Amino acid sequence: MRKVEVLRDLQAVDTALDQARERMHRIAARWGRREEADAAAAVRERTLADLHHRQGDQHDLELQIEQLRAKIKMNNDKMYGGRVNNPRELSDLSHEVEQDLRLVSDREDRLLGVFDDVAAAETAATTAQATYDEAEARFKSDQVQMATDKRALDAEIARLTARRQELVALADPASLRLYESLRRSKGGLAVVPITQRTCMGCRIALPSSEEQKARSSEDLVTCSSCGRILFAG
- Summarised one tens digit per residue, pLDDT across range 124-165 is 999 999 999 999 999 999 999 999 999 999 999 999 999 999
Q: What is the pLDDT of residues 50-108, one digit of tens each?
A: 999 999 999 999 999 999 999 999 999 888 888 878 889 889 989 999 999 999 999 99
User: Which H or E run contains 233?
Assistant: none
Pairing of strands 229-231, 191-195: parallel
Residue 144 CA to residue 48 CA, distance in Å, equals 30
The model carries a pTM of 0.72
Taken in order of first residue, the domains within the chain and their CATH numbers are 3-10+173-231 (no CATH), 31-170 (1.10.287.1700)
SS3 at position 106: helix
